[in-house]
Amino acid sequence: MNPSPKNFGAPFAWGAATSPYQIEGKEGRGPSVWDAFCEMPGKVFGGHNGAVACEHFSRWREDVGCFRAAGWNAYRFGISWSRVCPDGSPMPDQRGLDYYDRLVDALLEAGIEPWITVYHWDMPLEMHRRGGWLNRDCADWMAELASAVAGRLAGRVRKWFTMNEPQCFIGLGYYRGVHAPGVSLDLGSVLAAGHHALLGHGMTVSALRAADAQNQVGWAPSGVIAIPATTDPADVEAAREACFNMSGDNPLGRNEPNPLWANSWWSDPVFLGHYPEDALQRFGAAVPAIRTHDMETIRQPLDFNGAIIYTGSVVRAGHHGPEVVPLPDGFPVSSLGWPVFPESMYWGPKFLSERYPCPIVIAENGVALREWPDVQGGVADSARIDFLHRYLSEFAKWRAGGGDARGYFHWSAMDNFEWSEGYKDRFGLIHVDFQTQKRTLKQSAHWFAEVIRENGARFFRTP
Ligand code: IFM
């Protein structure tokens, strides 16, 4: 590693990310668990759903043109399981695969490397009816999906994420019930579903490697990021502890008696091959049944850890352990109310890579705003530029100190269906008019293109 880097180094993936349910629309696919969830009264803002979304299924050519114009060298997108397995049988439908085949070719032609996420939440409804993640077989179904997709795209796609944020599709979906499938189960069932998801991750890694030995595989979890209140070693230690401690004393987990946002419940099995001891103690009888070889299946060597970082909490050393520092009035927040903490892009990669030594790819980072096209037709999202500038500076600081950074994917490529928040908040670098489906590159997309052209050099210059 160059001790004084002048930019993000090569090869570095610069681009943006999407997921299928959020952009594709329902044309050509079977019903998914999210279609059913959106029909449940009161679950999604304004009764919105992903039936149309960005119509990316039919507009993908135009969209790839936008991505090229935005200067990305990489694009992260997910496979719609309900498109590849529309009736819920794990047998793939070739027409679903054809779609991704064409998309991948178009991206490669545009000089954009595809980074694929195998599972980003749109489980076929029929699989959910057969138990979904509560059914251990779901792990096999996911690995079959991975084999089919990786087999078809072998030699053209080399970068893979197994799954996106099990914290969300298990924690929000099966425990809080605010995401699909929208159920609130007891902790034991939730942890069992999570265990099956982790098995699905491990089996998918093997399937991807079996399809092509040159495949590079990672995953994309999210989790709490604690930022030390000061650089005093006691505060730094308190923040580190808050990121991983799963005992009931953790101030970041106290109100959530479940593994929802804990890094260690999910990442310890994946990288270290076991669940964290403090969590096993805390969850007691709710701990899932772990069969012989399960942990070996889950712990597969990974090529990168896809960190998902939006926000954080400031933590200090208190008299009785880590304490959260309250936010002052008027603290900057996104339109979803998420506090803006650029420092999370330094401390997050640092704490994660210290505990789980593995190169970091930022799989998602971005900000929700409610901007609109101005009278001249441009979209002046200066707050997003400022957000990006600040977060990327912190990421560069981490890399300059020796961090192994391999890529940055902005969330999101384009405005889209933001799950239970519907269409009211916009995350895209590309503005989508949901009435006309017109795409407009926002100012942030143009600014980001310059950053990419110089490989982020501006963040490494000393002022
Ligand atoms: O839109 C989501 C994405 O699907 C998963 N990670 C967080 C994003 C913003 O909420």
Atom 2 of ligand 1: nearest residue by CA position = 418
Q: What is the mean pLDDT of residues 125-140?
A: 98
d(CA 274, CA 264): 10
Query: Which residues neighbour 445 within 8 Å (Cβ) at sequence distance 6 or greater?
Result: 70, 429, 430
Q: Evaluate if residue 190 carries a pLDDT over 90.
A: yes
Q: pLDDT per residue over 274-288, tens digit each?
A: 999 999 999 999 999
Which residues contact residue 291 at a Cβ distance below 8 angstroms, ignoring those fewer than 6 apart?
A: none
19 CB near ligand 1 (under 6 Å) = yes
Per-residue confidence band for 159, with pLDDT thresholds at 50, 70 and 90: very high
Please report, in angstroms and rounded to a whole number, the separation of the first and last CA atoms in the chain: 23
Q: What is the pLDDT of residues 32-49, one digit of tens each?
A: 999 999 999 999 999 999
Cα–Cα distance between 4 and 336 in angstroms, integer? 37
Q: Cβ contacts of residue 389 below 8 Å, gap of 6+?
A: none
> May I ask the CATH architecture of the domain 13-460?
Alpha-Beta Barrel (3.20)
- Could you report the per-residue pLDDT of 53-63, keeping only the tens digit for each? 999 999 999 99
Question: What integer pLDDT is reported at residue 462 of this predicted model?
Answer: 81
Q: Is the CB of 122 under 6 A from ligand 1?
A: no
Sign of CA dihedral 315, 317, 321, 326: negative
As a whole number of angstroms, the distance between CA 425 and CA 277 comes to: 39
Q: Give catalytic residues, as residue numbers.
A: 165, 364
Q: Whose CA is nearest to atom 10 of ligand 1?
A: 418
% residues pLDDT > 70 (the chain): 97
How many Å apart are CA 71 and CA 164, to the nearest integer?
25
Q: pLDDT digit string (tens) for 291-347? A: 999 999 999 999 999 999 999 999 999 999 999 999 999 999 999 999 999 999 999
- Write out the DSSP string of 316-353: EEETTEEEEPPPPTT--B-TT--B--TTHHHHHHHHHH
364 lines ligand 1 (CB under 6 A): yes
Q: Which H or E run contains 409?
A: strand 405-411
Average pLDDT of span 62-72: 98
From 252-261, 343-352, 387-396, 418-427, the region with the lowest mean pLDDT = 252-261
User: For residue 180, how far is the Cα from the chain centroid?
Assistant: 16
367 CA to centre of ligand 1 in angstroms: 10
Ligand 1 centre from 83 Cα, in Å? 20
Res. 253: pLDDT tops 70: no
The pLDDT of residue 251: 75
Residue 250: predicted pLDDT: 76
Instruction: Please report where in the chains the tokens 């490989």 appear, as a residue.
Output: 455
CA atoms of 259 and 56, how far apart (whole Å): 34
Q: Is the pLDDT of residue 240 over 60?
A: yes
* Percentage with pLDDT > 90 across the chain: 95
- Positive or negative, the Cα torsion across 197, 203, 206, 212? negative
What whole-number distance in Å separates Cα of residue 158 and Cα of residue 297? Answer: 22
Distance 412 CA to ligand 1 centre (A): 8
Look at residue 260 and tell me whether its pLDDT is greater than 80.
Answer: no
- Say if residue 2's pLDDT is above 60: no
Q: What is the pLDDT of residue 261?
A: 82
Q: How far is the CA of 343 from the centre of ligand 1 (A)?
A: 20
State the CB neighbour count (10 A cutoff) for residue 216.
Answer: 17
Q: Whose CA is nearest to atom 1 of ligand 1?
A: 418
Q: Does residue 415 line the site of ligand 1, with CB under 6 A? A: no
Q: Which residue has the higher pLDDT, 37 or 253?
A: 37
Model pTM above 0.85: yes
